[in-house]
Amino acid sequence: MEEVRCLDSLGLLGVFFMRRSEVLAEESIVCLQKVLNHLREIWELIAIPEDQGLQRTEVAKKHIKDLLDMMIAEEESLMERLIKSISTCQKELKTLCSELHVEPFQEEGEMTIFQLEKYLCTQVELIRKQKKERKQELKLLQEQEQELCEILCMPHYDIDSTTVPSLEELNQFRQHVATLRETKASRHEEFVNIKRQIILCMEELDHTPDTSFEKDVVCEAEDAFYLSLENIATLQKLLQQLEM
């Protein structure tokens, strides 16, 4: 019932604007007639000859026509700009939808040229924003992934950075980066535990790190150690040798 009342209200509003427009048009004609009558009264008071009065009337008519022609030209120019903008927005929306891997944009219901142009421009801005956000997140994820892959000595995820990723591609990449973080945390924890045991063994054996690997493990900062599977295995092997 509320929707029906809303539609009824919109219909009444449209009728109101149409009637108001007609009233304004009639008032404009009356106003123009008053101006011409006033001019004729002035010419009669100063006794302008009839032929000159007709000439002045023609001049007044020409001024009015020129003004109205100029207004028409301006409004036609506005309409042309709106139509051009609609065409431009439709083309850009088609391209954006293709780039973002979403369904082609569909216009909703019947709209006036003015409403359609405003609606399409709004949609273009919204989808541009989505495109920008996806590319920004992709860039951020790639930076995080590069850092994680470097310390884990793992190959990079295969994703095209020259195009806009789909939501599914972005989600998969997001999950991949999350898995890398978990792997890093797990390996770092294992590294810290083994390192602690290695240091204890070296202290008990009064052993000074002599190989470059032992120095890296014992002396370098923990964040500088590459957490590759090979390094973790070498750590385990070193601990086993010290415990023998």
pTM as predicted:
0.71
- 173, 213 contact by CB (below 8 A): no
At 18, the pLDDT band (50, 70, 90 cuts) reads low
CA dist list (Å): 148 to 97, 157, 161, 168, 213: 32, 11, 18, 22, 21
Share the mean pLDDT of the chain: 86
Burial bucket for residue 39 (CB in 10 Å: 0-12, 13-18, 19+)? middle
Q: Which of 56-60, 105-109, 216-220 has the lowest mean pLDDT?
A: 105-109
Q: Residues for the chain: how many in total?
A: 244
For 73-99, the pLDDT digits (tens) are 999 999 999 999 999 999 999 999 999
